[in-house]
Structure 1
Amino acid sequence: MLNIGCHLSTTKGFENMGKEALEIGANTFQFFTRNPRGGKAKEIDESDVNALLKLLKENCFATLLAHAPYTLNACSADERTREFAREMMADDLERMEYLPNNLYNFHPGSHVKQGVEVGISYIVDLLNSVIKPEQTTKVLLETMAGKGTEVGRTFEEIGEIINRVELKDHLGVCLDTCHVYDAGYDIVNNLDGVLDEFDRIIGLDRLCAIHLNDSKNPFESHKDRHEKIGEGSIGIEAITRIINHPKLRNLPFFLETPNELEGYAKEIELLRNAYK
């Protein structure tokens, strides 16, 4: 079965996200842990969480993906911003234990002209301080498009972060199709080659989730602008190859395309029909 979902809003509660996912034909979903443009998190409603857990079990959902807010910059030049990122991620990982054995994804951050090596060091420091041996949540580094001073634009940068984290068994990667294509990895014409490179540098055993997005911009543009499935420069043929690839087909796929629920439902149906 194709494990696929989209990004859903937590505004109406956890159980409602599960119900919305079912309504659009999804069997997983992604959600923000808190306000994506801020730092405030809602209080946990345990009865709501338990209702979601019951729904997930009854409907055989795949692994869920929580997404850290965009304001989390682990390698900022500003010390207070880095400390804010540390506090936020530590709190998020504690809260994620209400939904055990799921995934938590974050953007590595922007080094803001300090240099990639400095940025990587700050990210490693943060992860070493917040990841705990007993946690059930796997923390995912997201592949980035390479705009500005983003860290994570290459497999080498992500691999170096993972290699320097002490509790690396709790780490994985979320590959974003728009981002890697914009970064210069040709998943349209050389998917096997890209996956071989990923395996050599990071290891495919660390690939835990895929953000499935088309791209508004051409190859190696470093722009990071998502497009609806089949309407961008990646195209439906390449995306069909991705969801059916033997090394990827059993992973959870998460749509972050510019859509409302109706549009996501259409994309999920399109992709289910393309899954062999």
Structure 2
Amino acid sequence: MFKIGPHLSTSKGYASMGEIALSISANTFQFFSRNPRGSKMKKLDKNDIDKLMTIAGENNFGPLLAHAPYTLNPCSSKESVREFANLVLAEDLERLKYFKNTYYNFHPGSHTGMGIEKAIEIISAQLNFVLREDQETIVLLETMSGKGTEVGSKFEEIAKIIEGVHLKEKVGVCMDTCHIHEAGYDIVNNLDDVLDEFDKTIGLDKLYAIHLNDSKNQRFAHKDRHEKIGEGKIGLEAIKRIINHEKLRDLPFYLETPTDVEGHKREITLLKSLRE
């Protein structure tokens, strides 16, 4: 089954997101765990969560993806920022105990001058602090574009973070097509080679999800500028190959394209028409 859906707002509640997803022919979606530009978390409403879980179960949804806020920076050179990241990670994973079949995605962060190696060590340590053997939620490290001092734009960096995690079965990767394109990986002309490199460096068994986005920029731009499906420098033909690739087609795909719900509906219809 082709598992695809958009990023939806939690403003009207969790169950509402499930209803919106159904209305645009989506069978999964992504949502922010809390205010994406701040720290405020939505009040816990177990009844609302249960309603969403019922909708998801009855309609055979793929895994839902909770996205950590952009303010999270686990490897900042500032101790207070790292402490905030610890708090957010722990609180979000505690909240996600009430959800079933859900992943949690976060940006590895920016080292802000301390260097990649030290940052990797800190991120692994943070994960070791918050991960629990009994948790069901898989935590995903997102591949990044390499803007500024971002960590995670190279597969080797992601691999080293995972290498330092004790409960490796609780972590995986979310591959963002815009990000890896702008980081320099040639998914337009050499998708097979990129996936082979990912497999050799990290392991395809660690790839749990895809952020499916086109890009406003060429390869190596390192700017993280998402574009609507088929309207950017990745292009529709390359995206068609991505969603149909034997090593990717069974993964859930999440749209983070710069459009509204109706725009996502059109993109989902288009992508389903390209599915082989």
TM-score, length basis structure 1: 0.99
* Structure 2 letter corresponding to 1:123: I
8 A Cα contact 2:53 2:100, kept in partner? no
Asked if structure 1 preserves the Cα contact closer than 8 Å seen for 2:125 and 2:164, the reply is: no
* Residue 149 of structure 2: aligned partner: 149
Give the AA of the match of 2:184. Answer: G
Equivalence map 1:1-276=2 (5 Å): 1-276=1-276
The aligned amino acid for 2:111 is: H
Deviations 1:63-116 (A, max 9, x none): 110000000000001001000000010000000011033100000000001100
- CA distance, structure 2, for counterparts of residue 186 and residue 94 of structure 1: 38
Runs of 5+ unmatched residues, structure 1: none
For 1:101 and 1:20, how far apart are their aligned partners in 2?
19
Give, in whole Å, the separation in 2 of the partners of 1:195 and 1:114: 30
Measure, in 1, the Cα distance between the counterparts of 2:198 and 2:15: 36
Deviations 1:14-48 (A, max 9, x none): 00000000011100000000000011101111111
- Secondary structure, aligned partner of 2:192: helix
- In structure 2, distance between residues paired with 1:11 and 1:95: 17
- Give me the identity figure in percent: 62
Q: Secondary structure at the match of 1:40?
A: coil
1 CA distance for matches of 2:66 and 2:250? 19
Report how many aligned residue pairs link the two structures.
276
2-side partners of 1:51 and 1:177: how far apart? 32
The residue identity in structure 2 corresponding to 1:256 is: E
Q: CA–CA distance in 1 between the matches of 2:183 and 2:53? A: 37
Letter in 1 for 2:251: L
CA deviations on 1:221-262 (whole Å, 9 max, x unpaired) are 111100000000000000000000000000000000001001
Q: Report the Cα distance in structure 1 between the residues aligned to 2:171 and 2:125, rounded to whole angstroms.
A: 14
Q: Residue 221 of structure 2 aligns to a residue in which SS?
A: coil
The aligned amino acid for 2:179 is H
For residues 181-225 of structure 1, the C-alpha deviation after alignment (integer angstroms, 9 at most, x for no partner) is 000000000000000000000000000000000000011111110
Kept in 2: contact 1:101–1:138 (CA 8 A): no
Regions of 4+ moved over 3 Å: none
CA distance in 2, matches of 1:57, 1:141: 26
